Amino acid sequence: MMNILKKQNGMSIVGQGGKIILFTLPSLIAAILVHTYLPQIAALPESISFIKPVGYLLLLPGLILWGTAVIQLMTGFSKGKLVTTGAYGVVRNPIYSSATFFLLPAVALMTLTWVYFVVSAFLYVGVMIFIGKEEKQLTKAFGKEYEDYIARVDRLVPLRKPSRTGPQELKMIRELLLVCGVLSPLYYVVVNDVVAAMCYPGYDRISRPVSELSATYAPSRPILVPLLVIFGLLMIAFWIGVWRSAQNNRALRITTGLMIAFAVLGLLAFPFPMKANEVLGANTIHTIIWGVITPLLMLAGIGVSAAAFGKRFRLYAILTLVALVAFSVWTGIEAAQVEAGGTSRWFGIAERALIGVWLQWVAVLAITLLRVPVQPSQEGLVRRRDR
């Protein structure tokens, strides 16, 4: 047991697992809450209930892959050996792979709830973000043996031969991810102010808040929530692109971490939306998440991003922070009037302005990175070129 707890080749047995778990855990909590408190939102159509047996078929190989991997890891790690057979001959990270492609999809299909597919997507993204450091450590520890292993076995997809992606293909993938940062703000505006608003008869965009469109009593909620999940996936794709662009730019990496936390915590508010006859702020959990935690993460992310680029972007980030504070105060004043039992004439405009400033920052950041990409070995290159 003590051999397992000791570091081997400079690594602990969990490797980057702690970071991957912390990245994925909020989405799992959100999925469980949505499944428990809003089963009508989480449920897949009953018309496809015939696919339930597929979940049971996925469960068995998933458990076998996971169990074999755990036993092999505990045995091989204590001896300081590189394990490349058994479960590790199927995929390089069988513990993560079993959960991503077998166990979580199995739960989703057996319960006919789509939310666990979202957790699977978060786990996949977490592995792709954090596993690179672990692979560098393994390459340093085992040299050519590990390099040959990489050439034979895929990182996460079972039994797939690793694809050799050249610099041009990697550049294209990165640019496609960054384009999501331009598309997602436009998508959000269309989904909320066009599609959802049209599904809510009598809804006034000027006086009523955006958050009311997803309230439990809102007729727009059934169509809005799935569409916002797509928005969340677009944003996650964008932040993956930012992470891959950052390389040695520490400020961009910190910004990415803060904004991914912002996106994940936003999911936690869905099980606790406004209910009928409930004044804004009465729902404590909803208010804490959307009114306190996520705004702080938003402000922190924008503030840190100012240190990642040159003078022009730094000035833009500072002006964005000032605008966010101003619109936050305005939104707070309008919300206070509603909570006091009064009426608000400009609540919708104030909240839309607040959201719009943040969405604009996302788009500007995406365009900036598309224009001046960060190079892996040239720390601070963007900062110098953007002056």
The predicted-structure confidence for 355-383, as pLDDT tens digits, reads as follows: 899 999 999 999 999 987 554 433 333 44
Confidence of residue 351 (pLDDT cuts 50, 70, 90): confident
Residue 158 located in a structural domain: no
Are 336 and 213 part of one and the same domain?
A: yes
| 369 vs 362: CA distance, rounded Å | 11
The pLDDT of residue 281: 42
What's the confidence (pLDDT) of residue 117? 92
Provide the pLDDT for residue 276: 46
Domain total of the chain = 2
pLDDT at 31 over 80: yes
Across residues 242-267, what is the average pLDDT? 80
Whether residues 327 and 208 fall in one domain: yes
Residue 23's closest CA among 269, 257, 239?
257
Residue 174 domain flag:
no
CB 260 within 8 A of CB 27: no
In a domain, 380, yes or no: yes
Amino acid identity of residue 126, one-letter, is G
When pLDDT is averaged across residues 247-260 and rounded to a whole number, the result is 85
What is the tens place of the pLDDT at every residue in 216-231?
778 888 888 778 878 8
Average pLDDT, whole number, for the chain? 81
Torsion, Cα of 110, 115, 120, 126 (10° steps) = -160
Q: 3 in a domain, yes or no?
A: no
In the predicted model, what is the mean pLDDT of residues 22-39? 86
Closest C-alpha to 8, from 86, 75, 68: 75
CATH (domain of 57) = 1.20.120.1630
CA–CA dist 318, 303 (Å, integer) = 7
Q: Which residue has the higher pLDDT, 297 or 286?
A: 297
What are the pLDDT digits (tens) for 193-222? 888 888 889 888 888 888 788 777 788 888
The single-letter code of the amino acid at 346 is: W
Q: What is the reported pTM?
A: 0.66
Per-residue model confidence (pLDDT) at position 176: 87
**Same structural domain, 139 and 198:** no
Percent of the chain with pLDDT over 70: 81
* pLDDT reading at 3 higher than 50: no
Residue 328 lies in a domain: yes
pLDDT at 292: 59
**Mean pLDDT on 280-299:** 59
pLDDT at 340: 65
For the record, the structure tokens of 261 come out as 């936390």
Residue with tokens 């520890």: 141
Average pLDDT value for residue range 83-100: 94
Residue 329 counted as domain residue: yes
Residues spanned by the domain of 249: 180-385
